[in-house]
Amino acid sequence: MASVPNNPSKREFLRGAWPAFAVLLMTFVISTLITEFTFVGGAKALWVVSFRFFYLSVILLLPIFLLPRLCILLQNLGNRGKWRLVQIPADRDPRVAPLKNWVLRPLQGIGLMMLMATKLLAVLYAGSAVTASTLLPPMQFQAARFLSVTSIAFLASALLSLLWTVDDLGIRFHDRKTGEVKMIGKYLGFLLPVFFGFYGIVSLIDTHSQILAARYIVQMVIILYPPFVFLNVFHARYIRQHESLLLGCLKASPLVIIVDGDSPEPGKPS
């Protein structure tokens, strides 16, 4: 019987997601054999870590399938008055890149989730002390916390997926009157939630030292990092496969400039 060749797209996905598998493996080994690495230890870590990873991955991936509708919404908001959505083909880069998809964008997602959690905790516990038990994963199932984590993860993924999409497709705001072109959530500029999110969580915990609170932050980053790497790799693959559909939903016109009066150059206003 002839052997079936491996699926190249599957191999590409696995190569792109290997940092997530590496962190998961490290978490399994340390939590099971050494110490409570991410708030759980012993044999229990095998299923707890696996459940957290698959649960968060599913929640983060779901908004990607809403991208066509989100792009239509952005198109309705962006093509108004003097503004219009344009595409700069030279800036399009939907491929998986180590710095972008393994470092910057996962940190964006983690920081944004922590920033949203900070705001939620500030509202729920206004005037009351927020302790480590409020922040850390509970030992037993709690419906309210489960729903809040699910909502925060879903909303953060929806917002980031849309911003990453317009960034990868080279979509910009163009002022018809002045010719000015503005970026829409360039990922480097969107790193602010990382710092505000981490600092906000640390500052909320007033019953522990900042060193101990920072250790809790590191542990939560390790929990959230693998799902966000999966989100980034899957998002890059989705953009490549549905680029025409998403561009049609955005209705962005290519932007061209005339250089020296006679030579068109893509990416700048004419």
**Is 168 inside a domain boundary?**
yes
Q: What is the pLDDT of residues 202-259, one digit of tens each?
A: 666 666 677 777 777 888 888 899 999 999 999 999 998 999 999 999 988 777 654 4
**Is 15 inside a domain boundary?**
yes
Average confidence score pLDDT of the chain:
77
Range of the domain at 249: 8-266
**Is 3 inside a domain boundary?**
no
Residue 96 has pLDDT above 60, yes or no: yes
CA–CA gap between residue 190 and residue 184 (Å, rounded): 10
Q: Among the listed ranges 26-30, 120-124, 155-159, 244-248, which one has the minimum average pLDDT value?
A: 120-124
Q: What is the pLDDT of residues 172-200, one digit of tens each?
A: 887 777 777 777 665 445 556 666 667 66
More confident of the two residues 83 and 232: 232
Token representation of residue 233: 């790799």
**Is 156 inside a domain boundary?**
yes
172 forms beta bridges with 86, 183
Q: What is the pLDDT of residue 135?
A: 59
The predicted model gives 8-16 an average pLDDT of: 76
The predicted model gives 82-102 an average pLDDT of: 78
3-class DSSP state of 177: coil
CA–CA gap between residue 117 and residue 64 (Å, rounded): 22
Where does the pLDDT of residue 108 fall: very low under 50, low under 70, confident under 90, or very high at 90 and above?
confident
**Is 185 inside a domain boundary?**
yes
Where does the pLDDT of residue 140 fall: very low under 50, low under 70, confident under 90, or very high at 90 and above?
low
Strand stretches in 95-160, DSSP E: none
**Is 231 inside a domain boundary?**
yes
Q: What is the pLDDT of residue 5?
A: 42
Q: What is the pLDDT of residue 113?
A: 85
**Is 2 inside a domain boundary?**
no
Indicate the pTM of the whole model. Answer: 0.81
3-class DSSP state of 6: coil
Number of compact structural domains in the chain: 1
Residue 218, Cβ density class (10 Å: 0-12 exposed, 13-18 middle, ≥19 buried): exposed
Residue 127, Cβ density class (10 Å: 0-12 exposed, 13-18 middle, ≥19 buried): exposed
